[in-house]
Amino acid sequence: MELIADFLMIAGTLAVSVYCMVLSRRLSRFTDLEKGVGGAVAVLSAQVDDLTKTLTAAQKSAAGSAARLQDLTERAEATSKRMELLIASMHDLPESLAAKPKAAASAKSASEDAAAEMLFLSQRNRVEAAK
In 3D space, the residue among 24, 46, 43, 23 whose CA is nearest the CA of residue 35 turns out to be 43
Model confidence, pTM: 0.41
What is the reported pLDDT for 13? 95
**Amino acid residing at 49:** D
Where are the chain's structural domains? 1-30, 40-92, 96-131
**Amino acid residing at 5:** A
What is the reported pLDDT for 102? 53
SS3 of residue 53 by DSSP: helix
Query: Percent of the chain scored above 90 by pLDDT?
Result: 45
Residue 26 has pLDDT above 60, yes or no: yes
Residue 86 has pLDDT above 80, yes or no: yes
Contacts of 97 (CB under 8 A, 6+ apart): 103, 104, 107
Higher pLDDT, 130 or 89: 89
φ, ψ of residue 95 to 5 degrees: the values are -70, -15
- Separation between Cα atoms, residue 44 and residue 79, nearest integer Å: 52
- Separation between Cα atoms, residue 61 and residue 44, nearest integer Å: 25
In 3D space, the residue among 28, 6, 24, 27 whose CA is nearest the CA of residue 16 turns out to be 24
What is the reported pLDDT for 33? 63
- Separation between Cα atoms, residue 24 and residue 14, nearest integer Å: 15
Measured CA distances, 131 to 68, 74, 124 (Å): 16, 22, 11
What is the reported pLDDT for 126? 52
- Band (23; pLDDT cuts 50, 70, 90): very high
Query: Percent of the chain scored above 70 by pLDDT?
Result: 67
- Band (101; pLDDT cuts 50, 70, 90): low
